[in-house]
Structure 1
Amino acid sequence: MWNKRWTLQSVSSLCFQLGELLQSGIPLREALLFLHGQKGPYQERFYKMVASIEQGENLSKTFSRETFPSMLISLVGMAEERGGLAETLTYCGRYYQEKLKYRQELFQTIAYPLFIMLFLVSAVILLFTVVVPRFQSLYSSMQITLPSVTLTFLEIIHFLKQYGIYFLAAVILLPVVMFLMYRWTTWLDHAPFLLLHIPGIRYLLRIQASKYIALQLGYLLEAGIPLLKSINIMRENIPWKFYLHTIEAVENQLLEGELLSEAMKKQPIFLDILSKMVSMGEQTGQLGKQLLSVGQALELEWRRVIYHSTRLIGPISLIIIGILVLIVVVTLFLPIFYLMENI
């Protein structure tokens, strides 16, 4: 077992290159030797894979010795039994390429809002730790009677200085606690279904679920995997527990003889367009292509919604900063105004 994990980029590149070499008629061993001849961080590992093939092991067994995704290993194993290994590798390469692209775009999407939030927190800390204490010292030295509004504001600042660190620690620890609860408890498995009752989040959650299922199932079907086996592979490799219940419900309804479109229509987490497109695919015999088509359309819709949502974070943050500055200016300069009126 070799411990260094393959990245999504390296897995995608391996699948594409190996699939193209096999489609060109090059035997598996020679194809791996060709990849071994390319310089890179995985050169030695290609050599070990060649050694495994020479010892009589198949490709899925060889991949299992590596830290490849379990879904890739399952698909390769099925392709070795049914045929179409090159096509399966090509589809896997496309899938992991799309997955990597999604992660990169998601990071780019949240990077700007995170920067704005960091700026907002820094501005608040600067106001409360530098600006406000200087005014407080000034008024104390001048022995000015402070109005009730300013006194209340200064008491709040004093409270935040004493207990703000605990609040900040709670904010930092909250995601950690939620993650541990997600891993160790079952009640959070139903949280997304509770969120379906919140209008804005409901739409986002349904897009994400419909997009994920459509693309995953579409790639599997286009790779030649039967429907029930594709559902089984998804159930075994699904990354989110709260989707597992939905996949299991769809699988049970398929085993009872229902159509996939009818099974999906009964699940509230899926958009109506998904079941309609699946129904069209069932009628035309092109279910995989229809799923990929609707999945790509939902991917564009997801990006559009996320883009417009994150664009609002900047203006909202500036408004919050403006309100905080206004409150600080009014409460801190109010004693000076009172002093000038009494002169």
Structure 2
Amino acid sequence: MAEFVIKLADERGRVMEQVQTASTADELRARFSHAGYHVFSVKARSGLGGVSRRKVKLEPFLIFNQQFLTLIRAGLPILGSLQMLTKIQKSAYFQSQLDDVANRVKTGESLSSAFEAQTGVPIMYTTTLLAGERSGNLQEVLERYIGFQRVSLTFRKKLTASLIYPGLLLTIVSALLVFMFTVVIPQFAELYDQMGSKLPAMTLGLLSFGKWTQHNILWIALSVLIVAVVLWRFSLTERGRDTVDAVRVKMPIFGKIWLKYQVALFSRTLSTLLTGGLPLVPSLETAARSISSRRVSKAVTTGIVSVREGKNLADSLSNTGVFPSLATEMISVGEQTGALPQMLNSVAEFFEEDVATALTAALSLIEPAILIVMGVVVVFILISLYLPIFSLGSVAGGGQG
């Protein structure tokens, strides 16, 4: 789907300009014309390849769904509920998406296909809506989706909160080092140049590096920015996403934590979809596309082939060599007892707790390690800077004696 800027007028003559998604400009023009709007122009919106990679923010999307469910429960029609909620959105981007959904529903599209046409909407959400439409239990599947997202959002907030202090500590340490190398050390260099005394090798090396840093700070910053942009653009490519995920998984300590987090997310997603009435294979396909880890996603996709051939889910996932043995054993028990969704939920809860515990333990070790490294660097800098002064003092004291 591409994004277009459409300029149109409604039946009252009010002119408006919106950002909408569609396959082609003609398809978008026809859609609004059939809905009773007068279309002035449709232009492709500039962006990366003409396609928006912007994702819907989880928190406002969750609030929208809670309000949407409340209105449907109260007996309001889907179209009226969408139109009402569209008007109260603070985000112009999300508002334009909901407006597009309402227009599509107005022209006869299903709710799931209308949301599927929007960029950045979670694939799990549209699949959940589709299951609800087919089973006639839209309210029930929305309740399950909201419950799933509440748990996911709470867990993400806990992880983010646990990372704030180490991140702040690294930022302060980096800023302090930059200040010392660009301001403090060059001032000492000027002082020792005026004195003209012979300096120790470690002091000379530190002062030379400080002078070089001061004179080239803009080039250093520009180089870092260019490297960051290149890596970011590379991470958007298929090969780049695979590389980034491979680096994440192979990281010491945090690699295992990341893998367990993705297994927990997969398990909870699959549990929610199965509980909503979706068959196993479509649920697996949706769950595979809903998780961030390319390695886990590819493992699930490989497992789907085995499931289609008649093998059970636990063995199919175990044969990929990616899923922890504990997870596949619990899934096997769930399959044997006929309680797979409930067991998947237990797998998710277990690994979420494991991730939170492991992350807390890792950060409790990293924080003092950062302080120790920082202390060693500062002590080395101070000794290097003040060693000539101590040497001069001892020489002067010896001369007086």
TM-score interval for Structure 1 and Structure 2 normalised by the shorter chain: 0.7 to 0.9
Q: Matched residues in 1 for 2:112 and 2:250: separation?
A: 43
Partner of 1:222: 275
**Under a length normalisation based on structure 1, what TM-score does the superposition of the two structures give?**
0.84
Q: Matched residues in 1 for 2:343 and 2:289: separation?
A: 23
Written as runs of structure 1 = structure 2, the 5 A alignment for 1:52-131 is: 53=105, 55-64=107-116, 66=118, 68-131=121-184
Deviations 1:317-339 (A, max 9, x none): 22222212211221122112222
Partner of 1:321: 374
Partner of 2:337: 284
Residues 83/318 of structure 1: CA separation in 2 closer, same or farther (3 Å cut): same
Q: CA deviation at 1:193?
A: 5.4
- Identical pairs, percent: 23
Which region of structure 1 is more displaced relative to structure 2, 140-149 or 48-57? 48-57
Q: How many residues align?
A: 342
Q: Matched residues in 2 for 1:193 and 1:323: separation?
A: 32
Asked if structure 1 preserves the Cα contact closer than 8 Å seen for 2:115 and 2:126, the reply is yes
| Residue of structure 1 aligned with 2:207, choices 131, 134, 154 | 154
Q: CA deviation at 1:111?
A: 2.6
1:12 maps to a residue whose letter is: L
Deviations 1:144-193 (A, max 9, x none): 22122222222232343455555544444444433333333537626655
Q: CA deviation at 1:236?
A: 4.2
Partner of 1:249: 302
Task: Name the SS of the counterpart of 1:120 in structure 2.
Answer: helix
Asked if structure 1 preserves the Cα contact closer than 8 Å seen for 2:262 and 2:291, the reply is no
1:110 maps to a residue whose letter is: L
2:111 maps to a residue whose letter is: L
Q: Matched residues in 2 for 1:307 and 1:152: separation?
A: 39
2:57 maps to a residue whose letter is: T
Q: CA deviation at 1:286?
A: 1.1
Partner of 1:209: 262
Which region of structure 1 is more displaced relative to structure 2, 173-182 or 219-228? 173-182
Q: Does 1:306 align with 2:359?
A: yes
More helix by proportion, 1 or 2?
A: 1
Partner of 1:7: 57
Segments ≥4 residues shifted beyond 6 Å: 42-48
2:210 maps to a residue whose letter is: I
Q: Does 1:132 align with 2:217?
A: no
Q: Matched residues in 2 for 1:120 and 1:54: separation?
A: 56
Unaligned runs of 5+ in 1: none
Q: Matched residues in 1 for 2:103 and 2:191: separation?
A: 78
Q: Matched residues in 1 for 2:370 and 2:289: separation?
A: 41
Q: Matched residues in 2 for 1:338 and 1:230: separation?
A: 74
Which region of structure 1 is more displaced relative to structure 2, 86-95 or 34-43? 34-43
| Residue of structure 2 aligned with 1:32, choices 68, 72, 81 | 81
Residues 168/309 of structure 1: CA separation in 2 closer, same or farther (3 Å cut): farther
Unaligned runs of 5+ in 2: 5-17, 21-54, 397-401
Q: Matched residues in 1 for 2:96 and 2:201: separation?
A: 73
Deviations 1:227-268 (A, max 9, x none): 111012223444443333212111011111111011111222
Task: Name the SS of the counterpart of 1:146 in structure 2.
Answer: coil
2:81 maps to a residue whose letter is: L
Pairwise CA RMSD: 3.3
Q: Matched residues in 2 for 1:312 and 1:171: separation?
A: 28
Higher normalized contact order (CA 8 Å, seq sep 6+, divided by chain length): 1
Q: Matched residues in 1 for 2:233 and 2:79: separation?
A: 46
Task: Name the SS of the counterpart of 1:186 in structure 2.
Answer: helix
Q: CA deviation at 1:115?
A: 1.6
Written as runs of structure 1 = structure 2, the 5 A alignment for 1:261-272 is: 261-272=314-325
1:60 maps to a residue whose letter is: S
